[in-house]
Structure 1
């Protein structure tokens, strides 16, 4: 572990970024909207009473929305920042929710193979340096037939002057929407176009947060003509998957 964190490659957030993650905007306009969208992307009935791993749970603001959307038997919250875990514990107690918190790097999860039904990874992946290892760990800990709920900002958003000025990210690992989909497929996850969405939300509009569009000074670009800044995916680990390999 490097310094105070549970990861050698942890990229510390700015003070402003840390405060933003407890704001009403983050909870109501970002987290809630993403979880509602992810829930709509399932092709099959939702798992009953799932064990849900919140990978990069931050300050625990997702817990209430995960509980409402999926009625989990248990939530596991993992984060590399001890202070975030402390705040997550307070959030879970305040909400009266069953949450087990673990300090860990996503690239080396202290969980058994095939032990969770769902992995929720929301706006976490672009913070991770060891992305391939983390994705392999998500695959490993999911039960066959389990789901990865993947919601990310793309390089087109992260690599803008305002985001680089306000927040801190490992820039050399940022990816496009297509590159994220390739990663998921290469790891062995299954999904179709029905399981993927490209939200075009005001806060994700590169450069001006959609201000010029709201003022009707420019027309919004339609899907297929714009560079996507957000991608949500519900990807499934095949039912045939072996613990030792990708699939039987």
Structure 2
């Protein structure tokens, strides 16, 4: 049976109660968030920026962005109201700079060209229509803006076992895209300079970085370039 938004809403509604205490906060989410923040900082420096975090959950990442990058104005969007509600204390504490919105990744409730960065950390495999979600991420980026999308790396045996076997068994028919499939999705959505980087560890993940199409990018192209699954293996980073 195909994974759908009703399943996702029910699953994350149940998970919202323990989400902030999950072992994944240490095992996967923390390392993913640090990787994203390093890339945003390396690209944007101390310039004022606007960031949209798609699949923002309870606001853990939004809070970390504001701590590390105080010049950033952050918007978060999540399909599941229970996740946003569980993060109410964070939204209140960061009310002047972080703005949560309930919405669908396939129909983002923001104007075209609104953001310098779009981030998406470890939720893309839950999106039933991944190509439509990627197109929406492209739409809301400024020309030359940057997408930073992280999901589980399933192209090596350990990652395949974790994500295609264990996670699928627990969460249903979710889909962790291969590195090749990510490139196809982002190319079709209109992104340029697609780059990928593997981060090793107990829960390996793949960072996809891409620039919203325009003749002259607003920021320089990513410094890492992997164009095939085989080359992804050789560029792995612990």
Q: Which runs of 5+ in 1 are unaligned?
A: 1-6, 205-228, 242-248
Task: Tell me if 1:137 matches 2:174.
Answer: no
Q: CA separation in 1, counterparts of 2:142 and 2:32?
A: 23
Shift of 1:175: 1.9
Shift of 1:45: 4.2
TM-score of the aligned structures, taking structure 1 as reference length: 0.71
Contact 2:17 2:86 in 1 (8 A): no
Match of residue 48 from structure 2: 49
SS at match of 2:171: coil
Q: CA separation in 2, counterparts of 1:178 and 1:109?
A: 25
Q: Rg bigger for which structure?
A: 1
SS at match of 2:191: coil
Shift of 1:20: 5.1
Q: CA separation in 2, counterparts of 1:62 and 1:239?
A: 28
Task: Tell me if 1:198 matches 2:198.
Answer: yes
Shift of 1:169: 4.2
Shift of 1:9: 7.1
Match of residue 208 from structure 1: none
Instruction: Specify which structure has the higher proportion of helix.
Output: 2
Change (3 A) 1:113 1:187: same
Match of residue 158 from structure 1: 163
Match of residue 89 from structure 2: 90
Contact 1:60 1:91 in 2 (8 A): yes
Of residues 212, 216, 223 in structure 2, which corresponds to 1:237?
Answer: 212
Contact 1:117 1:147 in 2 (8 A): yes
Match of residue 124 from structure 1: 123
Equivalences, count: 206
Contact 1:57 1:78 in 2 (8 A): yes
Match of residue 38 from structure 1: 36
Contact 2:130 2:185 in 1 (8 A): no
Change (3 A) 1:82 1:232: same
Q: CA separation in 1, counterparts of 2:178 and 2:10?
A: 23
Contact 1:36 1:69 in 2 (8 A): no
Change (3 A) 1:200 1:142: same
Instruction: Specify which structure has the higher proportion of strand.
Output: 2
Change (3 A) 1:119 1:126: same
Q: CA separation in 2, counterparts of 1:15 and 1:45?
A: 35
Q: Deviations over 1:100-152 (max 9, x none)?
A: 12111100011101001111100111010011111100000000111111000
Change (3 A) 1:9 1:19: closer
Shift of 1:96: 6.2
